[in-house]
Amino acid sequence: MTVQDQKIKPNKKPMGKEIRSLVLKTILLIVAVRVSIALFEIFFAPDLGLKHNHIIVGETLVTIAISFVVISAIRRILKNPTSKIPIHFTSSISFFSIIIISLVDSLILLYIWNVQIQTILIGGGVAAIVVGIGFSTIVGNILSGALMLTTFPAKVGDSVVIVNDNVHGEIMDITMLYTKIHTEQGTEYFVPNSAIIQGNVRILREGSLKAQLPFVEGDKIELSTSSEKFSGTVVKITTRFTTILDADNEIIIANKSIFEGSTTIIKKSKTNTK
């Protein structure tokens, strides 16, 4: 192997090692920040005229910043192209890691501000109701997203159809608030998670076309109908159409015609295509 090949070859760590490294770095960072803030409050804050409340505000901002950094690092690790973990599982890890980190972050902030949970539940009952009503939609979408990732039959990467609008596409991601569907027309469709769980937006999972069709992308085939005959390389397969490249021409055939038998398929062997 030449020096140039070594430079080109990516050096990707296994996901497990990256996660363990991230956990260790996060723990060391939290300890270092806590110690630094404590030393700053003892030796430098009095000379600068800073009070304990100022230090608490600083700790709060640093804690929130660390949480965002950790979440971003987890999402970066999960997007590793060399990972063999199913895309739906990586979306689930990303989703629930955000929830867990947010809960831990909230507990740390309560500790920093020396606030007791009992005080919030008893003394802030009215405020909690008002805030709960205001955030009911957000919380509903988050809980719906959790249900979709764990119990919903359609998963990330599945081909689906949105019955309400007759939109065909593929589920690209399930986030905290919405489900992102990439349509066949190249647009992105954003559906609130709660609307799917409540049935306001109906999503049906379609069967895997790549398993049903007698060819895959890259195969050289011939298609013949009652009046025409086409030959070329399959370059794209969607939920409804198959695109064949014949010289400089793109031929689009409806998959429905293939399933119904109105289009005859002749798959060329690789030995004949050389």
- The model's pLDDT over 9-47, given as tens digits with 9 standing for 90+, comes to 444 567 778 888 988 999 999 899 989 999 998 999 988
Burial 10-25 (b: 16+ CB within 10 A, else e): eeeeebeebbeebeee
Residue with tokens 């629930």: 96
**80-100 pLDDT, tens digit each:** 755 667 888 888 988 999 999
* Percent of the chain's residues with pLDDT above 90: 23
**190-217 pLDDT, tens digit each:** 999 999 998 888 888 876 656 678 888 8
pTM over 0.85: no
Q: What is the mean pLDDT of residues 213-226?
A: 83
Alpha-carbon distance 194 to 142, whole Å?
8
- Quickly name the fold that domain 152-205 has: SH3 type barrels. (2.30.30)
Q: What is the pLDDT of residue 114?
A: 84
Strands 264-267 and 203-205: unpaired
Cα separations in angstroms, 241 against 108, 133, 154, 250? 52, 45, 21, 12
Residues in contact with 199: Cβ distance below 8 Å, sequence separation at least 6, in sequence order: none
Q: What is the mean pLDDT of residues 148-165?
A: 86
Q: What is the mean pLDDT of residues 251-270?
A: 76
| Domain 209-272 falls under CATH 2.30.30.600 | yes
Alpha-carbon distance 189 to 184, whole Å?
11
Contact between residue 197 and residue 153 where contact means Cβ atoms under 8 Å apart = no
